[in-house]
Copies of this chain bind each other. A is one copy, B any other.
């Protein structure tokens, strides 16, 4: 079963890098047989609910929001950059101003952004492409709590953080390590990013990200990624090595730290994903087209800022548009309205020639049926919208407030299945198999013929979590349901986990950096 489900071994870089550091050669454990590492290509045409005139109408609405209503920037540095570009500035305070943008300015700037780019982590074999028809998946990010069947729901800590980072590294269907898969609340916020990035950079060799939550944190993370990659400053700046994701404060506001992070990364050629969080009826209009237009306005002006600072710097549009429960105001995810806003935003992202990020969302409070269909519908939205980056692809529960170990495993099964599904179909003579059909004729079977024997090991997708046995066999083996099987799998993966190799000198340099920055007090905190 070699092409689809064998253990993956990313090819190590052919040339050993400086310091004699070996390529990150690694064999996974025997917990499951999974897909090999690859950057998937989504071969299907996206679903496009908007006709061309609908795209034009939303574009015009987006531009009018930027021109007529404007966006508040709580970052004077950004305001001055926009002023120097001739944007209209008013409602100024010492900390903020409203900025209105001409559509020519916006369109000229976003045209500078590339339609696709690569992100190269410390293991170059784990390089990923963002944009075009590529699609990559990452772990759940930022929940304060976590849960598993054995220990129940609890506040996140470093041990849980490390567990979930190990799962992120283990699964080949996860292509990057996004934000913290759970917040390690036992680490003080001033030094949390140092310990977290140390863990992430040593326990994974995949692309990592920096939270834009303060200048020091962003600078520290960039420096740690540079060290982990064994890179000079020039090498780091030369090509994207990491990224940040920022959220606007919808409606129509960009806060200081997010924009500060965006600008710091832009100056060093590192990408930002701009993801407004717009819940229709709460932070954006109750209508889906209005929500999409407002969300785009918020992201496009931030992207224009990136392109003003560093023309050609890679970036992406993020979408986090869904609806609320109008009875309670509670957010809802993975809904029919969520699918449509994601697909509409996908059309608009292609209209602007920019990569798109969406998410694998759900609101269920348990890793149950509801969580599964909400995730299935979110993943359906991702693959039919032309999404290039799927955030929160594994482990998200409770509208993002809890990381579930079991849901992590269940999500990886769904993600693997959809990656297998996205592969192009074949229709050559070998596939149509007229000779095989003639050989078997009427009423026989195909199990034993050569055409079957030659292909049976790799013909079909093989799941690691599904139980395909019949009822009697399943019952006699204990009637183990999916969530319990998932529980067994994550335990086995963690028990067998081996971190990817890292040169001892690089590890030491990372340790020294963390120790020094801790001694300096880490990053300032608000509390």
Contacts and interface: CB of A to CB of B under 8 A. Distances in A.
Contact of A281 (B44, B69, B459, B486): B459
Interface in A336-382: 336-337, 339-340, 344, 363-374, 376-377, 380
B376 A443 contact: no
Nearest to A475: B365
A370 B330 contact: no
A456 B332 CA distance: 14
A57 B427 contact: yes
A194 interface: no
Interface in A394-441: 398-399, 401-402, 410, 413-414, 417-418, 420-421, 424-434, 436-438, 440-441
Contacts of A196: none
Interface stretch (A106-114, A220-228, A461-469, A496-504): A461-469
A85 interface: no
A286 interface: yes
A10 B340 CA distance: 28
Interface centre among A49, A286, A456 (most CB of B within 10 A): A286
Contact of A326 (B289, B331, B459): B459
Contacts of A413: 373
The listed residue with most B CB atoms (<10 A of its CB), out of A49, A418, A438, is A49
A330 B469 contact: yes
Given A49-B43, A58-B427, A460-B335, A443 B286 contact: no
A253 interface: yes
Contact of A285 (B44, B414, B436): B436
A372 B363 contact: no
Stoichiometry, as copies per complex, reads 2
A289 B438 contact: no
A280 to B, nearest CB: 7
Contacts of A428: 57, 289
Given A58-B427, A153-B471, A427-B58, A443 B253 contact: yes
A98 B442 CA distance: 9
Interface in A50-103: 50, 53-54, 57-58, 61, 64-65, 68-72, 98
A159 to B, nearest CB: 21
Most buried by B among A252, A282, A285, A430: A285
Contact of A443 (B251, B344, B418, B429): B251
Interface stretch (A23-31, A303-311, A477-485, A514-522): A477-485
Q: Most chain-B CB neighbours within 10 Å: which of A50, A53, A373, A414?
A: A373
29 contacts: A44-B48, A45-B47, A50-B427, A72-B442, A249-B443, A251-B441, A252-B441, A252-B442, A280-B459, A281-B460, A285-B433, A285-B446, A286-B433, A286-B459, A288-B426, A289-B431, A324-B460, A325-B468, A326-B457, A335-B461, A336-B461, A340-B425, A369-B483, A370-B467, A373-B373, A373-B413, A373-B414, A373-B417, A374-B466
Given A98-B442, A370-B467, 17 more contacts: A44-B47, A57-B427, A58-B427, A61-B434, A252-B443, A286-B455, A287-B431, A289-B431, A293-B437, A325-B468, A326-B457, A337-B460, A340-B421, A363-B466, A365-B471, A369-B369, A399-B470
